[in-house]
Structure 1
Amino acid sequence: MTWRPRLIALDIDGTITPVGREDVAPAVRAAIGRAVDHGAHVVLSTGRSLVGTRPIVDDLGLRGTTAICSNGAVWWDTTTREVIRKVEFDPGPSVERLRALLPDAVFAVELTGVGNLAFGRFPDGDLWGEVREVPYEELVATPTSRLVMRWVGRTPEELALRMLDIELPGVTASCDHNEPWLTLTPPGVTKGAALEVLRSELGVPEQDTLAIGDGSNDVAMLRWAAHGVAMGQAPVAVQEVADAVTGTVLDDGAAIVLDRYFGA
């Protein structure tokens, strides 16, 4: 009998959509639909905020499942459209450290389901939902599930080099490989940790899990899955932890994987 995954975790940006976009390619949308029709539990597992995730859920018509947002810190029921789990942290100590390390950095704390409070101006389109610029004191006093930082005028490589061997107090941190962008979530919160809790709650065997992703924040998820697949444009460090590598997002790599199990 052909193996089919029962729990499928899909990253969004760089996996089922081009980075920062809301358009899922027809082949990917169709492949996800076939997986759902075969009874698979499809979970969007993303670093995006809830505001940025909801349009993708609606585009795919996903119901009866959970969207894991903010790298695992926010869970959203796609049927009731309610937040069912949220973990927050105090951003103050990390922001203070980062301001000293990274001159010209701008910061934003997520307001779940609404938008962001920002200290400094982000480029247009960087942040999902409403954006309100606030004084430093207000930003660091706001508990949040997700803090994002952009190092203005620098490259992703410069940010990764500066953050090498840097430990931030009381958070989980991940650097983006496309932009000079750092995401902070509560300590111990990762996509992989969240998915393991969900897998247990659903009663899905460990060997029946599949994950597809492309970024450093997907590493824990790819390691968690019985079969972790990296996208073709993923950095080498991400590809090395995966069980397989598929095509790029422009080649509909996620559809190639899903069609292997659920037919075309």
Structure 2
Amino acid sequence: MSDTAKHPIRFVLSDMDGTLLRPDHTPTQRTLSTVRALREAGVLFSLASGRPPKAMMHMVEAFGIDVPVAGFNGGTLVNPDGSVLVAHRLPAEAALVALALFSGEPDVEVWLFADGEWLRRDPPGPMVAVETAGLGYGPLVVESFEPYLDRVDKIVAASRNTQLLMELEAQLQPKVQGLAQVSRSQPIYLDVTAMKANKGEALKALAAHLGVPLAQTAVIGDGGNDPAMFHVAGLSIAMGQAEEPVKRQADVVTGSNLEDGAAQAIERFILKVPHKVFDTPS
């Protein structure tokens, strides 16, 4: 963990789902108030999510964010008004490999994000309703993904079979090494994005844009796509419900998203409000 006395935190980058938001995809009043207090203290605050940018805009407004945010695991940086700063897209070669692997699994729903749309081609499965609730909009049904292969933002394999997704992650990584990032943004989602579409690169880009040294940044997250920013930030904080491999890569572990863990961490480590429910990963 960085010495926050020597390097006070000036910029906080937080994951959304499972971190700032409860399972119903809403923040608590405590979380909203704590982020407001953070910003009033002069600390910059932004979001990094596996979500498409347009599914982040309502939280940009709710939290009063006035700096760029990172969607698609960091693949697309957008201004608070939704205008695009940077977009890193998945090479068609990697997209074809991922689609071929995922399409052979009957327990997996395969989605593609491109042109600002969530696309599906299969009959709707149970995961569509879950994602619709999270994003706030539904998918566009297409006959083929082929017309979009030159501009893919993200491919997702979605399934309640988390063990299967772990196996697919292990199978896919060597097949697209050097071409794509493969990570589980949540236990039920396996994401495939461009090499520079990761939260570590997003933190570097946002910190440079804002003029903040990385030593004075803090990050908060819970998913398999969050350690990329843990390894770059001055201070990394894992949520209490995160899987053990994620927790072990963070400097500290806070409460779960059902316990206002993100607010706890901001109060304790950045706003310096005393709190007792903290551990360091073993």
SS at the partner of 1:173?
Answer: strand
Instruction: Give the structure-2-normalised TM-score.
Output: 0.83
Which secondary structure state, in structure 2, belongs to the residue aligned with residue 251 of structure 1?
A: coil
Deviations 1:40-69 (A, max 9, x none): 111101111112211111111212x01111
Instruction: Say yes or no: does 1:204 pair with 2:212.
Output: yes
Select which of 147, 150, 170 maps to 2:155. Answer: 147
Deviations 1:180-236 (CA, angstroms, capped at 9, x unpaired): x21111123210111112212322122111000000000111111111000000000
Select 1:34's aligned residue among 34, 37, 43.
37
| Equivalent AA in structure 1 for residue 139 of structure 2 | V
Give secondary structure in 2 for the equivalent of 1:71: helix
TM-superposed CA distance for 1:95, in Å, is 0.6
Partner of 1:185: 193
Alpha-carbon distance, 1:38 to partner: 1.4
Which of 199-208 and 103-112 deviates more?
103-112
Find 1:158's aligned residue among 147, 164, 169: 164
Distance 2:31 2:145 in 1: 44
- For 1:210 and 1:116, the matched residues in 2 are separated by 31
Corresponding position of 1:18: 22
Deviation, 1:29, is: 0.7
Q: Could you say which residue in structure 1 is the equivalent of 2:131? A: 126
The 5-angstrom pairing of residues 55-134 of structure 1 reads 55-63=58-66, 65-78=67-80, 80-89=81-90, 90=92, 91-100=95-104, 102-112=105-115, 114-120=116-122, 121-122=124-125, 123-127=128-132, 128=135, 129-134=137-142
Aligned equivalent of 2:53: 50
Q: Which amino acid aligns with 1:115?
A: E
In structure 2, what is the Cα distance between the partners aligned to 1:62 and 1:224? Answer: 22
| Post-superposition CA distance 1:152-193 (Å, at most 9, x none) | xx52123213432532422211124432x2111112321011
SS at match of 2:38: helix
- Does the 8 Å contact 1:192/1:223 carry over to 2? yes
Distance in 2 (CA, whole Å) between partners of 1:77 and 1:177 is: 25
Residues 240 and 212 (structure 1), Cα distance of their counterparts in 2 relative to 1, 3 Å cut: same
Structure 2 Cα separation of the partners of residues 44 and 258 of structure 1: 14
**Could you tell me how far apart the structure 2 residues matched to 1:125 and 1:165 are?**
25
Distance 1:16 1:236, change over 3 A: same
More divergent stretch after superposition (194-203 vs 239-248): 194-203
C-alpha distance in structure 2 between counterparts of 1:49 and 1:235, whole Å: 24
Which residue number corresponds to residue 229 of structure 1? 237
**What SS does the corresponding residue of 1:136 show, helix, strand or coil?**
coil
Q: In angstroms, what is the RMSD of aligned CA positions?
A: 2.1
The 8 Å contact of residues 110 and 116 in structure 1, kept in 2 or not, is answered as yes
Query: Percent same amino acid among aligned pairs?
Result: 24
User: Is residue 229–residue 243 contact of structure 1 (8 Å, CA) maintained in 2?
Assistant: yes
Q: Structure 1 residues 20 and 175, CA, compared in 2 at 3 Å: closer, same or farther?
A: farther
Secondary structure, aligned partner of 1:93? helix
Code of the residue aligned with 1:12 in structure 2: it is: M
